[in-house]
Amino acid sequence: MKRWRAWLKAHVSQTPYPTPECGSVPHFDPTPRVILFDVYGTLLAARHGDLEDQVRRRLAQESFVKTALFFGYSEEVGNTWAENFYQAIAKEHEHGRSLGISRPEVLVEHIWKTLLENVADPPDPPPHPMDVAMYRELVANPVSPFEGAVETLRTLHGQGFLLGLASNAQFYTRPILEYALGTPLHAVFDERWTFFSYELGFAKPDPHFFRLIATRARRFGLDPEVVLMVGNDPVNDMEAAQIHGLQTVLFMPGVTAHLQDFPWNGPRTMRFDALVQALGKE
């Protein structure tokens, strides 16, 4: 959409976020055939991470006021949204857990649909819930690609690896990631290997998430161990994937001193070029 394009240009940077100058080169055996990438904190440097991070820490509350004013609502409405948004998500999560889903996912546009319907005197015409959700996310959570991400994706795709995405995400993740990388997702990622939580109804590290991926591998005649998960979370990405037989590498492009103490003894690296080198085709 044209209006989304303008918002993306204003809030998403295509300037790479720097990574450390050196990084260890992990070892993979067997050589992966499929490589799955997390989005927030792995491909994209994000102020607040994914929606789950925002919910857990009640982040970016000022973004609701900015969003309200942008769409013609009052500051009071924005402050109300800041409270009700996270409460609505928590209620949806509680309902999902009551059904036996350990990490239920929401559809953020449905959350916004309810919030907008509860405003007594809305603008005429009222905004679409997806527009409000997109704008609020862009204001709250500016992102940029990590250094080397674009080049690595193009290199690995050109070398014949099947690339995919395995991320806790919402509908806006796709256009944001496309704009940040400067390329359509279908140009580098195989849709058959793209797993977004909002499309599944459950999020990492729910055991169903990586069981689905392992099952997809077997249906394509592949052993799960030739699928490599690249992510920045030792629980959501590493442990959750390993349980189902996938290979993993903890990616720490935004490494700081405290991240060195992550409770993870498996492969790790800080740079995308080290990942390419590890795959043996640089």
Tokens of 270: 């800080």
DSSP state of 227: E
Domain's final residue, options 77, 109, 140: 140
Other Cβ atoms closer than 10 A to 61: 16
Summary mean pLDDT of the chain:
91
Peptide linkage before 224 cis (omega within 30 of 0) = no
Instruction: Render pLDDT for 34-50 as a digit per residue (tens, 0 to 9).
Output: 999 999 999 999 876 55
What's the rounded mean pLDDT across residues 239-266?
Answer: 78
Q: What is the CATH number of the domain that holds 154?
A: 3.40.50.1000
Where in the sequence is the domain holding 107, given as residue range(s)? 52-140
Tokens of 273: 């070029």
Domain's final residue, options 123, 140, 157: 140
Burial class from Cβ neighbours inside 10 Å (0-12, 13-18, 19+) for residue 92 reads: middle
Q: Are residues 191 and 256 in the same domain?
A: yes
Q: Which of the two residues, 24 and 11, has the higher pLDDT score?
A: 11
Overall number of domains in the chain: 2
The per-residue pLDDT for 185 is 97
Residues 187, 265: Cα–Cα separation, whole Å: 34
Q: Are residues 128 and 198 in the same domain?
A: no
